[in-house]
Structure 1
Amino acid sequence: MKLLLLGATGLVGGRALQLALSNDAFSEVIAPTRTPLAAHARLVNPVASRLEDLVQACIAHRPDAVVCALGTTQAKAGSKEAFRHVDHELPVAFAQAAHAAGVGTFVIVTAMGASDSSLFFYPRTKGEVERDVRAIGFRSLTICRPSLIGGERHEERRAEGMALTWARRLGPVLPARWRVNPAAAIAAALLDAAIAAKPGCHFISSDAMH
Structure 2
Amino acid sequence: MVETKGKTLLVFGGSGLVGMDILRQALANPAVTKVVAPTRRPLPVSVTHYAHLENPQVDFSELPDDAPWWRADAALCALGTTLKQAGSKAAFRLVDREYVCAAARLSLRAGTRTFVLNSAVGASARSGSFYLRVKGEVEHDLGAMDFRSLTLVRPSILDGGPRPDDRPGEVMGLLISRTFKPLIPKRLRAVKTSDVAAAMLQAALTAPVGQQVIESNAITRQR
Is the structural similarity TM-score above 0.5? yes
Select which of 19, 25, 31 maps to 2:25: 19
Select which of 105, 108, 119 maps to 2:114: 105
Tell me how far apart the structure 1 counterparts of residues 61 and 205 of structure 2 sit (CA, whole Å).
26
Contact 1:29-1:42 at 8 Å conserved across structures: yes
Deviations 1:161-197 (A, max 9, x none): 1111001111122221111010000000000000010
Amino acid of the structure 1 residue aligned with 2:206: A
Question: Are 1:201 and 2:207 counterparts?
Answer: no
Q: How does 1:109-120 map to 2 (within 5 A)?
A: 109-120=118-129
Tell me how far apart the structure 2 counterparts of residues 29 and 119 of structure 1 sit (CA, whole Å).
37
Task: Report percent identity of matched pairs.
Answer: 45
Note closer, same or farther for the CA distance 1:59–1:111 as it changes in structure 2 (3 Å cut): farther
Note closer, same or farther for the CA distance 1:135–1:158 as it changes in structure 2 (3 Å cut): same
Contact 1:145-1:204 at 8 Å conserved across structures: yes
Which position in structure 2 is the counterpart of 1:84? 93
Matched residue count: 209
Name the SS of the counterpart of 1:209 in structure 2: helix
Question: Are 1:178 and 2:178 counterparts?
Answer: no
Name the SS of the counterpart of 2:121 in structure 1: coil
Note closer, same or farther for the CA distance 1:121–1:139 as it changes in structure 2 (3 Å cut): same
Which position in structure 1 is the counterpart of 2:172? 162
Which position in structure 1 is the counterpart of 2:16? 10
Amino acid of the structure 2 residue aligned with 1:10: G
Which position in structure 1 is the counterpart of 2:138? 129
Tell me how far apart the structure 1 counterparts of residues 217 and 82 of structure 2 sit (CA, whole Å).
23
Q: How does 1:8-87 map to 2 (within 5 A)?
A: 8-37=14-43, 38=45, 39=48, 40-48=50-58, 50-56=59-65, 58-60=67-69, 62-87=71-96
TM-superposed CA distance for 1:60, in Å, is 3.7
Q: TM-score, normalised by structure 1?
A: 0.95
RMSD: 1.3
Name the SS of the counterpart of 1:27 in structure 2: strand
TM-superposed CA distance for 1:128, in Å, is 0.2
Note closer, same or farther for the CA distance 1:162–1:59 as it changes in structure 2 (3 Å cut): farther
Amino acid of the structure 2 residue aligned with 1:16: I
Note closer, same or farther for the CA distance 1:57–1:18 as it changes in structure 2 (3 Å cut): farther
Contact 2:118-2:155 at 8 Å conserved across structures: yes
Note closer, same or farther for the CA distance 1:58–1:8 as it changes in structure 2 (3 Å cut): farther
Deviations 1:132-180 (A, max 9, x none): 0010120000000011111121222011111110011111222211110
Amino acid of the structure 2 residue aligned with 1:122: Y
Tell me how far apart the structure 1 counterparts of residues 151 and 204 of structure 2 sit (CA, whole Å).
8
Which position in structure 1 is the counterpart of 2:198? 188
- Structure 2 gaps of 5+ residues are 1-6
